[in-house]
Structure 1
Amino acid sequence: MKQVVMMGTSRATKGGIASVVQVYDDAGLFQRFPIHYIETHRDGGALTKLRMMARAYLALLCILLRGRAALLHVHTASRASFWRKYPAFLLARLFGVPTILHLHGGGFAKFYGTECGRLRKWMIRNVYDNVTCVLVLSAQWERWVRGITRNTNVQALYNPVIAAATTVDWSRRDPATVLMLGRLNKNKGTYDLLKATAKLPPTLAHARLCLGGDGEIEQAREAAGALGLAERVELAGWIGPEAKTGYLDSATVYVLPSYNEGLPMSVLEAMAAGLPVVTTPVGGIPEAVTDGVEGFLIQPGDIDALRDRLQALLSDPALARRMGEAGRRKVEAQFLSTTIMPRLERLYVELGATPAQAAPRADALARNGAGRT
């Protein structure tokens, strides 16, 4: 049987693509279709990354030469992520294999618009024009991609979430606890969040901030100390899937004040856990969070607005709970893997892939009693 060849970063890495692919696996996609996953990148030094990429292309070439590829599904972001995958698109075209370019990450518009010259822009457009299908994470990204390509098969496919059967009771959450998950840096709004927390009124001096992520950990520690927040900020490091549930169940507000995004898994996971969200209207986020309903949207870099929204939610647990419940309903209506995965699987079949077997979906198992109580 021919295989779906999927290419992307190692699932052991820290980042959005790895999280999405893991949900695909947990939701049963790798059981329902014969998928050969080829890792193109992993955390480590330059030599480790080079070896990984060389092995990836050797594996891809072997599959193509043997005629075993039904289609190629490539997960990519911008900059190095895109250029690592660039030869894969050319090889698939050479061998006549249908190809899905699946765009993740929020920096591609800037990468294309301001960081690439004429030649690189042409190379990017050439790939987009010639793949069989372009998948993006939101309607906003669909509009942007249609502006740079002649390809008429551009589709928005939300990132999927697997939700537990129920959310934790609000009374069991730690009071006034703000959670942020993701790489710590300026682009994610880490330092804006620290400054906003420092500006909260004395009545919220007990509020705590947990930053779960890799990146600029020491810089964040220094910034917290300089703002007088050393005792109120937990730098938890990268939080893996098993520990993540505990953090989401303990917090009272989730914050992601990013400057650009695709459709962040952490926001969807927080909503699935019943948390109100304070974030920014970038990328596909406004399709998940409506200002004043599931949480609040503030402009990137607006520290005073961020402080005000945090203050509103931390001072009013009933409001936070209502918004968290609205977020959970939004996830159940639009973002569960039981809704998203069938669309991807139909696309696979349309492009020539043959299902291997049926398998129970993780959401269905959770709703039959495997979740929290």
Structure 2
Amino acid sequence: MKQTGITAPEGFLAGGIACGIKKSGKPDLAVIYSEVPAVAAGVFTANQYKAAPIIVSMEQIKSKSCRAIISNAGNANCGTGKKGIEDAKLMVKTAAEVFNINSKQILVTSTGSIGKQLPMDKIVGGIKNLKATKDGGSDMAQAILTTDTRKKEIALDMGGYTIAGVAKGSGMIHPNMATMHCFITTDAKIEKSTLQKLLKKAVENSFNMITVDQCMSTNDCVFVLANGMSGVKPKENDFYTGLEKVCKYLAIEIARDGEGATQLIIVNVSGAKNEKEAKTAARAIAGSDLLKCAVYGKDYNLGRIYAAVGATSVKMDAGKIKADMKFGEKETIIICDLGAGYARAQAWGCDMTEGYVKINADYHT
């Protein structure tokens, strides 16, 4: 049976289990494993207050090759000082022993509540019981979730090779990454430097164009592992097209699954002076709390759009600017022509509801 998730590319295995981090008893420990060494690329949060596993993985990814990603949910291992770094390294060390690979070939991530030490006895025991299999992708996707309401997975057949991805994220979502993890696998043959360049560009056009609540997380990361097992070395442009498609799909699904959300907001900006200003305007509109509330109430209020754009430094012609709001059952399209040029951009967000307040008011309780 053809795999449809993170294990769809040749040579990738995955798994997820519950090791007791989450009080709910839901899965909270995951692994992605490559049967052969893969090149790795990564993009990390721009937040200055980075979590321990982010700091560790920023060093680990400098290795020439990577074999695995170990990830836990329910505890972010952030604000945990020196011990947090030691615990992230212990996760790496334990995974290296279990999967019989070099510890330098493992990336580590955590997501969940900030400021609490990891329950390392549960995590170490969990890693020792963790199995990576070809049909374990769905369990892996489930085990990285926090306030998400559903898994986010995709596999793209590129004709000779495959690009697959899995992501988590629902709150603390804002450009320059979010409280999100995204893991991408491919069996294409590609150089590490090229993979890093293409990933950075894809992230700029996808994950950095979504917002749920304008709160930037401490634990964001996007990783790509390419193990070359298909034997296909694709053209750079062709690979990028597939990579961006995977990233955009997962980014949109994160916005759609925003905490308490009932509507995906799609913002289309045109008439900008250049692409940079088009993106700035699109992000400003998508991130406007007043606009998000208007979408929730299906309040046709173009003033929310004009105010959001006007508060930025982008060039606009007040006499030519045009806007519209198109409400659907589950999606709302926001259109804004700045009247200042020909550049376009698209951003994604979600409405603001009582559900968002409830989730975050009760987050620790």
Same fold (TM over 0.5): no
TM-score normalised by length of structure 1: 0.26
Higher helix share: 1
Higher strand share: 2
Q: RCO higher in 1 or 2 (8 Å CA, sep ≥ 6)? A: 1
TM-score normalised by length of structure 2: 0.26
